[in-house]
Structure 1
């Protein structure tokens, strides 16, 4: 059965934060949620591009309720500041979509000393989720949706050398961050289940989508000067950003989505198509790996989930 945004239930009364909402899949997810009545917070690194996204969404949804949030996931200080701002203005959060990411970059470190892919794609979202989680755990129907990738299947966490100082490879680094996203989503659900929280954690991937991220990663970083050839081929082997956002929207809103589930396109080895259950690597499902990554993430970010998961009553301090 084909699933489209028309199948989404009404989002009126719900507040959603979408990271990386100024372009690509994040923008399309924010647009669809706003069209269904959600109050959407666009978490973006660049203020001008965030403002452009608001104008863009208002063209198709003139009555959309939108706000922008400065958020640089490569900076733990920016994450903490953004979370504090959300907490200041909102008593609850129904939906957190951990979408933003970087892909196939030359080796570099964040200001906190993390390898850029892992620091942005995983540690940034780990900290953001932890700092906002108590706005969600008592909210009926709330969800944390974390975007992974087909690349997770080759990903492994280098626990002894998470910054990949030895033998750096941009594809390996990206895969490490994407398997970290999926491991995090699985481990978060284990913690939420133990707590008896009303929030569920799910993950998804877009398949192969023709987005700015893909263009920068696959074209800008392509070897042997094949960028122009890849650019010409992209429309024939990928789907649009709008189609690529479908698994995200399905994971975020479909009533049949299961806690801890993983969703992606259902055709051509999960590269294109309507949303359905996706295959998770055995490595990403390993609870022992999940605990190790969780403990490492807490140690490196300083964000301890325990007070937020076990607090009773309403939202707690940030």
Structure 2
């Protein structure tokens, strides 16, 4: 058995994931059962009582399922959401489905550095510890647009927003050590290339190319972060091909094609498995700075293991954000 899987059970049994899966409609259950034939179910009974976690983009999809699972394990979970109405509804949903859940929604807009600063300040004012920062939020395949600060939206939200958030919360993470930063990437990272001469991808912009670049940036950020922090470990995660709202910007006909094959995609709960795996697996069974997929270490692509590019991206990100992070 691979060392990163030691102590855990993989099976194809159709059982709830640690008691944190929500009740599904008949059609949703049928789709999930079909997917269960292809995806080994992983489970762990590790408790997280006394731990605090932040999950960005936790109002829906993988983020919401991740937050629900952490809450079911006893953790205090902060749902960091751009849309507070949806965030508060997600918190109510989780508290209804998980007895004694400790969850709260807080506003965070990753497309606005001022909002990120305000969120971090709120965390320092209200939280004594932070053990898990899960950089889950993301946008995908959207038409060209820019963030409040003028960055291309996908690069700005998916990479720079989380880079800046991690920078601001790092002192609290260190104070709470051992702690972890888990950043969600995508299979799309293997098609990515960091265009240092055009990080905004303004020249000949293509949504898929910009998305792939942002997801490769997630992997490279994780790799470099792991080298720079003591007591804080970092992991990047490929959740797999999941039927979530992240592709809401996709136009016709691709949206119709995705809908046709939605039954073959992972459910959001299944998409959260590897994130949870990286939260609860003992540190000595994980590779700091490593990339994980399907609850196991994954080599990913060669570009994602390029230390020179990771270092250059780190410097470029600091320059764009106007920060010094040694």
Do the structures match in fold with TM over 0.5? yes
1:284 to 286, 294, 304: 304
1:151 to 163, 188, 194: 188
Structure 1: stretches of 5+ with no match in the other structure:
266-274, 307-318
How far 1:305 sits from its partner (Å)? 2.7
How far 1:302 sits from its partner (Å)? 2.2
Aligned pairs for 1:198-209 (under 5 A) are 198-209=231-242
Alpha-carbon distance between aligned partners in 2 of 1:184 and 1:168, rounded to the nearest angstrom: 23
2:293 to 240, 257, 264: 264
* Range moving further from structure 2, 130-139 or 73-82: 130-139
Q: Residue 234 in 1 paired to residue 262 in 2?
A: yes
Q: Which residue of 2 aligns with 1:310?
A: none
How far 1:252 sits from its partner (Å)? 1.6
How far 1:304 sits from its partner (Å)? 2.6
Q: Residue 104 in 1 paired to residue 110 in 2?
A: no
8 A contact 1:45–1:70 mirrored in 2: yes
The SS at the match of 2:181 is strand
Q: Which residue of 1 aligns with 2:278?
A: 251
Alpha-carbon distance between aligned partners in 2 of 1:226 and 1:98, rounded to the nearest angstrom: 27
Q: Deviations over 1:134-191 (max 9, x none)?
A: 1112433310000000000010111011111111000000000000001000010011
8 A contact 1:34–1:64 mirrored in 2: yes
Q: State the aligned residue count.
A: 287
The SS at the match of 1:2 is strand
How far 1:230 sits from its partner (Å)? 2.6
The SS at the match of 2:293 is strand
C-alpha RMSD of the superposition: 1.4
Structure 2: stretches of 5+ with no match in the other structure:
1-8, 12-16, 19-42
Aligned pairs for 1:72-221 (under 5 A) are 72-192=109-229, 197-214=230-247, 216-217=248-249, 220-221=250-251
1:2 to 6, 10, 17: 10
How far 1:31 sits from its partner (Å)? 0.2
How far 1:226 sits from its partner (Å)? 4.5
The SS at the match of 2:10 is coil
Q: Residue 27 in 1 paired to residue 64 in 2?
A: yes
Runs of 4+ with >6 A deviation = none
8 A contact 1:148–1:203 mirrored in 2: yes
Q: Which residue of 2 aligns with 1:52?
A: 89
The SS at the match of 1:16 is strand
Q: Deviations over 1:261-293 (max 9, x none)?
A: 21112xxxxxxxxx2122321111111101110
8 A contact 2:88–2:104 mirrored in 1: no
Alpha-carbon distance between aligned partners in 1 of 2:119 and 2:177, rounded to the nearest angstrom: 24
Alpha-carbon distance between aligned partners in 2 of 1:205 and 1:61, rounded to the nearest angstrom: 26
The SS at the match of 2:261 is helix
Alpha-carbon distance between aligned partners in 2 of 1:7 and 1:295, rounded to the nearest angstrom: 38
The SS at the match of 2:78 is strand
8 A contact 1:138–1:199 mirrored in 2: no
